[in-house]
Amino acid sequence: MILYVNCCVRSDSRTDRLARAVLGKMGEYTELHLPSEDIRPLSEEMLLRRTALLQSGRYDDPMFRYARQFAEADKIVIAAPFWDGSFPSLLKVYIENVYAVGIVSSYGDDGLPAGLCKADELIYVTTAGGPYIPDFSYGYIRAVAGTCFGIGKTRLVKAEMLDIAGMDAEGILSQAIEGIPEMLA
């Protein structure tokens, strides 16, 4: 199963358009539209509940539906626009809810994380109005995917400089879309 984690809030999102072009080359997928979900940051009460459930091995609890879905995906495509030097906070909240030890990750005797996710690849799709700086967006996702979730391959698909005066935003986006087959080869 290909999991499409859509973090685009705008109905005419350029990031979503680019991601759907990627998905169109990959096959059928299941979409999780984060803005439509009731995802919340973990509170103290939620953390205590999560810890108790994980310690008792109750991974089937509804609290872990995002973690189970993420762990069971064969491939993952995340679409998140580049906002204020990173991605929308909703994506971080989602990752926080996905990161359930025993479902997506475990810890070895050395204390280091070992991934439990089935996915062999994660594709991060983004667009930026200005220059794209991956450090606090794709860089974070790549690190957590590889180090903590065990997803060995990550790729970045981007279109940048879309809101700079004099730039051809539609041309830049079209060029990024045209490059997808080569990128997926």
Return the HEC string of the chain: CEEEEECCCCCCCHHHHHHHHHHHCCCCEEEEEHHHCCCCCCCHHHHHHHHHHHHCCCCCCHHHHHHHHHHHCCEEEEECCCECCECCHHHHHHHHHHCCECCCEEECCCCCEEECCCCCEEEEEEECCCCCCHHHCHHHHHHHHHHHCCCCEEEEEEECCCCCCCCCHHHHHHHHHHCHHHHHC
Residue 114: the pLDDT is 93
Residue numbers in the chain where pLDDT is lower than 50: none
Residue 139: the pLDDT is 96
Residue 182: the pLDDT is 83
Homologous superfamily (CATH) for 2-184? Flavodoxin domain (3.40.50.360)
Entry pTM: 0.95
Residue 142: the pLDDT is 97
Residue 140: the pLDDT is 96
Residue 185: the pLDDT is 74
- Domain positions in the chain: 2-184
Residue 104: the pLDDT is 97
Residue 5: the pLDDT is 98
Residue 181: the pLDDT is 86
Residue 184: the pLDDT is 80
